[in-house]
Amino acid sequence: MPRRRPAAARCGHGVRRVSRGAGGDECDEGDEGGGRVTDLTQAAAQPLLKVRDLVKSFPVRSSGFRGGRGLVHAVAGVSFDLHQGQTLSLVGESGCGKSTTARCVVRILDPTSGQVEFDGVDLGTLDAAALRSARSKFQMVFQDPQASLNPRMTVGEILAEPLKIHHIPGAEGRERIRELMSLVQLRSADLDRYPHQFSGGQRQRIGIVRALVLEPKLIALDEPVSALDVSIQAEIIRLLERLRDQLGLSYLFIAHDLSVVRHLSEHVAVMYLGKIVESGTNDEVYEQSAHPYTQALLAAAPIPDPLIERSRDRIVLAGDPPSPIDPPSGCHFRTRCWKAQDRCAEEAPVLADPGIGHLVACHFPEVSNVIVQQPVDFRRPT
């Protein structure tokens, strides 16, 4: 594979191997002197991905005799940063807007408003040609590998398609594909087969290769293991972690499985009805959760030990999430929250640090001692 950076050392499969220097700084193995570490330290100060006040609304036709049109507020003012080599997970129930957020980031969907800045460039300011070029540096892996791969094309044709779009020479592209197939533990002979001839886990590996062929810096992973068996999930998570560390990738990881999120991510943002309601490091969110919705999600996560499972308190949320067409006034979570007071209906809470070290959007935040499952170590076979 071609070098991503001129000074990068290469090892194995043409891949740049990244190690951690003192203080957590990344440095390429084989670098001489301290200049490389200094460059990376300066780069690390700026986020690779910067999202500010992201909004995505979809027009819908209202039901009823009069008809008319309304708006589904799928994403309602989301902001976050993601740094090079890190993983940020967006978690929440189905319909909370996490997948739509990811699709807006990689420009599968155009945001209604807000700013998405990638590698220092505001994507909203780019024309079609410049955006097409920029897309090579951020890619997406989809939830259903069966549906995301063209059944009429061979794996080789599927993987070559993005290379042709971005005018990568044939010989260089073929070599890159072979190296990546080996990296995800698939054979070059598999390139002549069709997607239906593979298992679900193998198809997801193919989807990962397709995302990697353009040598991106960022990959959005939309629930990449939720459609797979538990044993296969562990394999894919280990693969993703290895690829991130080996290639210096950044992940925007969309998930609802909190045990997966806790192992793979440095940072977690919990979404509810289009908004981030709590955001922090893994330890902050899991061990010092202060938003009632986050606490309910953690309490719902199963624990294998039956004694612990029986002894912990359950948090049962009343009703279903409100419609994003007509969300509640004030705090969107108030209609299901056991702490709701009059203020919650009158005033929307701001995502801010209430003095606990991470961000919470709640008028009455309270750190909870919710008993949660310890993170699953996907580095060992499960």
**Percent of the chain surpassing pLDDT 70:** 79
In Å, the largest CA–CA distance within the chain is: 74
Residue 107, pLDDT > 90, answer yes
Query: How does residue 316 score in pLDDT terms, banded at 50, 70 and 90?
Result: confident
- Backbone angles phi and psi of 255, in degrees to 5: -160, 160
Residue 379, pLDDT > 90, answer no
Tokens of 382: 């499960």
pLDDT of residue 127: 94
pLDDT of residue 317: 81
pLDDT of residue 19: 41
Kindly report, as residue ranges, where domains of CATH 3.40.50.300 are found in the chain. 49-269
Please state the rounded mean pLDDT for residues 119-144: 94
Residue 363, pLDDT > 90, answer yes
| DSSP designation for 186 | -
pLDDT of residue 318: 77
Query: How does residue 307 score in pLDDT terms, banded at 50, 70 and 90?
Result: low
Distance, in Å, from the CA atom of 336 to the CA atom of 292, rounded to the nearest integer, reads 10
Q: Would you identify the CATH topology of the domain 49-269? A: Rossmann fold (3.40.50)
Query: Is residue 224 classed exposed, middle or buried when 0-12, 13-18 and 19+ CB atoms within 10 A define those classes?
Result: buried
pLDDT of residue 2: 42
Average per-residue pLDDT in the chain? 84
Tokens of 48: 């690779």
| DSSP designation for 184 | T
Beta sheet of 275-281, edge-to-edge order: 138-141, 218-222, 250-255, 87-91, 267-272, 275-281, 359-360
Please state the rounded mean pLDDT for residues 278-298: 93
pLDDT of residue 112: 97
Query: By mean pLDDT, which of 36-45, 68-77, 247-256 is the weakest?
Result: 36-45
Q: Are 210 and 155 in contact (CB under 8 A)?
A: no
In total, the chain counts a number of residues equal to 382
